[in-house]
Chains A and B, each alone.
Chain A
Amino acid sequence: MTADLAQTFSCYVSFIALLTIVGIYCILATYNLVRALIGIEILVKAATLFIILAGYLTNNLALAQAIVITLIVIEVVLMVVAGGLILWIFRHNETIDTRKLNNLKG
């Protein structure tokens, strides 16, 4: 790999890694279920950015973009289903605070 491509790679990868850390921290440290979904979204954005970067570096943007488009479709369906689950959890418990949802033990 040439030097300036390597430079691009290291610049982008560092930020992608930092975004991943933000996302994981968000999921771990929140008590609110919707904020956990925001964390997952940030993680998936980091992953899409990484896929596009890999496509750019190997000059294979066609495959990378096709993958990203499919990925976005999958992500939307996941978010919709998760939203439905949260809605029903709220209807049962009147709260989406994980400290107050301790029906399942362990």
Chain B
Amino acid sequence: MSALLILVPIIGIIIINLPLGKFLQRLAPYFAATLFILQIGLSLVPSLPFWHTGTNLLEPFFMFSVWVDQLSFVMFLSIGLVELCSLLVGLHFLQDQPRFNFINLLLITFIGMNAMVLSADLFSLYIFLEVVAVASFILIAIKKDVLALEGAFKYFLLSAVASVMLLLSLALILLFAGSTAYPAVASALLGNSGNTLAKFAVGLFICGLLIKSGVVPFHAWVPDAYTAAPSYVSILLAGIITKIAGVYALIRLVISVFGFNPALQNSLMLLGLISIFVGALAAIPQTNFKRMLAYSSISQIGYIILGLGCGSPLAIAGAIFHFFNHATFKALLFTNAAAVEEQTGTSEMENLSGLGAKMPITGTTSVIALLSTAGIPPLSGFWSKFIIIWALWGAQQYFYAAAALLASLLTLAYFLNMQRKLFFGKLQNGLENIKEAKPLISFVAVLLAAIIIAVGLLFPLVLNRYILPANPTVIAVSNLTGISHTGELK
């Protein structure tokens, strides 16, 4: 029945686009919000029959095999949450026709990401990767201002190069495996693991996914795209799209299809560490709030890749947990950026200081988000970084653990300084008339902040129920585990 996660939104989009009058357009936001909340609810209860029955009713029409395991639940939860936040913030900023366009594109990214998480086949993964990419180009450029168009085009060029790398690698894999389904590819690569061509194919595929994730040295498109997009699109882009498109695909493929080997692990850890440092160091001299957030995103994704590269079950659990945490606090930070931009008209930090007095909700929630990013207990960010560093230490990667700890302290120092200046300094001239953010945006900010605090405080509960089971069994040879709920597995 998890195929309904794709089919219901598709039917929904087709229905709300029928030319039957304006009332369908007014209905669209409620429909989208219902879908997202339903997905959040469903993914919090993995034992529901929804996830365990097959699609018997739909057999004649849509018969495809889906792959649902514990990792997917965390992904579905993140997707639903960030899409909901982006929807609410976007509803505040847009009206009428632009709002309708925005909701349609939002639903398309929703379908694309759900299908990516559900797919059990390399080529289907690629198709929905492109669906999400096309929708995000249009979303970035939705207001058609100059900066956004150029950012979108730069993202397009790098994304196209990454797609071609994925395709070339797919062709090589087809030569080895005769099919593109995960089990077939995994066994073929396992059997041929000494072959240089096989290793080249795997390496090429992973390079393509690294470009999509925004990992150094392929991160050139990230700052421009995140800064130039309207804030409600940046929430979506930074909070979930880059991560599902790149990082989730990496996690799924490295664990279930390509398998671990020392060369791959070392290169992933190295790239992760470099991303952490480059992101953190490049964020320091930035004057634009959103650009700084973009570099901070690169840094946090570096943590996830570092945890993935380490390979031990605890490290991977930490990486998945950090995935969810980053979704929450980055979405919160971009929400606050939207609020600040609306009230003051600018994102340049030199012109903004002392906002805390005038915008208490925004100020407090962004303090919470920044502290979580930097890894302060008892917020959620602390726990996920702690697990990753602890797992690195336990796997005898002492250098990496120490370096990650150092970078964490660096980020902390800088963020505290910036926070003090931006929200608690003296009020800048010309900012006397600003008011608190509007209710809808404040609601989203408070919700996300509450989640960050709750996950941090209830950490033992979260760990046992959601995060540790979310680790698909990791073995050095690519066997496959995971509950696949299928119509028919071909």
Contact = CB atoms under 8 A, between A and B. Distances in A.
In this complex, the member of A36, A67, A70, A93 whose beta carbon has the largest number of chain B beta carbons within 10 angstroms is A67
B15 interface: no
B146 interface: yes
Given A40-B160, A101-B150, A47 B167 contact: yes
Interface string A44-82: 101110110111011010011001001100100110011
Chain A interface residue number, banded? 35 or more
Interface in B140-166: 141, 144-147, 149-154, 156-157, 160-161, 164
B174 interface: yes
A54 B153 contact: no
Nearest to B133: A78
Contacts of A106: 223-224
Interface in B156-189: 156-157, 160-161, 164, 167-168, 170-172, 174-175, 178-180
Contact of A104 (B127, B179, B224): B224
Given A81-B134, A85-B153, A58 B174 contact: yes
Nearest to A106: B223
Given A40-B160, A57-B175, A74 B224 contact: no
Given A58-B175, A78-B134, A51 B167 contact: yes
Nearest to A77: B134
Contacts of B161: 24, 27, 40, 43
A70 B127 contact: yes
B137 A86 contact: no
Given A85-B141, A104-B228, A106-B224, A60 B146 contact: no
A58 B134 contact: no
Given A58-B178, A63-B174, A67-B123, A85 B164 contact: no
A78 B135 CA distance: 10
A53 B170 CA distance: 12
Contacts of B123: 67, 70
A23 to B, nearest CB: 8
Chain B interface residue number, banded? 35 or more
Contact of B168 (A20, A57, A70): A20
A62 to B, nearest CB: 11
B418 interface: no
Contacts of B149: 85, 88-89, 92
* Chain A contact residues, majority secondary structure: helix
Contact of A93 (B127, B146, B168, B179): B146
Contacts of A53: 171
A85 B147 contact: no
Given A81-B138, A82-B153, A104-B228, A92 B146 contact: yes
B189 to A, nearest CB: 15
Contacts of A70: 123, 127
A92 B150 CA distance: 11
Interface string B298-317: 00000000000000000000
B341 interface: no
Given A85-B156, A103-B146, A54 B175 contact: yes
B175 A47 contact: no
A54 B134 contact: no
A43 B208 CA distance: 14
In this complex, the member of B149, B157, B168 whose beta carbon has the largest number of chain A beta carbons within 10 angstroms is B149
Contact of A85 (B152, B167, B174): B152
A63 B127 CA distance: 15
B169 to A, nearest CB: 9
Nearest to A49: B171
A63 B179 contact: yes
A55 B174 CA distance: 7
A64 B180 CA distance: 10
B130 interface: yes
Nearest to B131: A74
B217 to A, nearest CB: 14
B172 A74 contact: no
Contacts of B172: 50, 54
A27 to B, nearest CB: 7
A60 B178 contact: yes
Interface string B100-125: 00000000000000000000000100
Interface of B: 123, 127, 130, 134, 137-138, 141, 144-147, 149-154, 156-157, 160-161, 164, 167-168, 170-172, 174-175, 178-180, 223-224, 228
21 contacts: A27-B157, A40-B161, A40-B164, A44-B167, A46-B168, A47-B164, A48-B167, A54-B174, A55-B174, A57-B175, A58-B175, A63-B180, A64-B174, A67-B180, A70-B127, A78-B134, A78-B156, A78-B160, A81-B134, A82-B137, A85-B156
Interface of A: 20, 23-24, 27, 33, 36, 40, 43-44, 46-48, 50-51, 53-55, 57-58, 60, 63-64, 67, 70-71, 74, 77-78, 81-82, 85-86, 88-89, 92-93, 101, 103-104, 106
